[in-house]
Amino acid sequence: MKVALAADHGGLHLKEEIKKLLTSMQITFEDFGCNCETSVDYPDYALPVAEKVASGEFDRGILVCGTGIGMSIAANKVRGIRCALVHDTFSAKATREHNDTNMLAMGERVIGPGLALDIVKIWLGTEFEGGRHENRVKKVMDIEAKYSGVK
């Protein structure tokens, strides 16, 4: 599995913790920034990660900002992305099983690093259940196709 990750200035420290975790799990990753404490714009960092996941170059993407909200909104604008904003372990598991999410967003100002790293582990380690969820995910992607003008 290859993971792309990025953060804005509000998620920088948690991103570094996630990188340590991925290294310890022997998961290949690439860091798409930011690497500075100065204020940056989260869409500039959400977009390259979302594009890498949408293109298939990376299997999963992880984004961190202050709340995770801006990053998740931006990522979900990219065709093919299903990005979940997650701050609890139940949702981390459920969003893989039910929504087949390919991106995860979290807020460094919302949760501590212990919980965040548990969320990452669960989210990376949980498979999509398929079955009745298959058609629901397809319906979501049909909405995206309808509003992007591509059938």
Which positions are catalytic? Answer: 65, 98
Would you mind telling me the total number of residues written for the chain in this entry?
A: 151
Tokens of 126: 């949980």
Residue 32 or 100 with smaller CB distance to ligand RB5: 32
Nearest-angstrom CA–CA distance, 112 and 36: 20
Residue 67 or 101 with smaller CB distance to ligand RB5: 67
Residue 46 in contact with residue 6, Cβ under 8 Å? yes
Closest CA to 123 of 87, 148, 151, 149: 87
Judged by CB under 6 A, does residue 66 bind ligand RB5?
yes
Judged by CB under 6 A, does residue 12 bind ligand RB5?
no
| Segment lying near ligand RB5 (by CB under 6 A), choices 20-28, 52-60, 66-74, 128-136 | 66-74
Residues 37-56 that bind ligand RB5 (CB under 6 A): 42
Judged by CB under 6 A, does residue 70 bind ligand RB5?
yes
Residue 116 in contact with residue 82, Cβ under 8 Å? no
Which residues would be at the binding site for ligand RB5 (CB under 6 A)?
A: 8, 10, 42, 65-67, 69-70
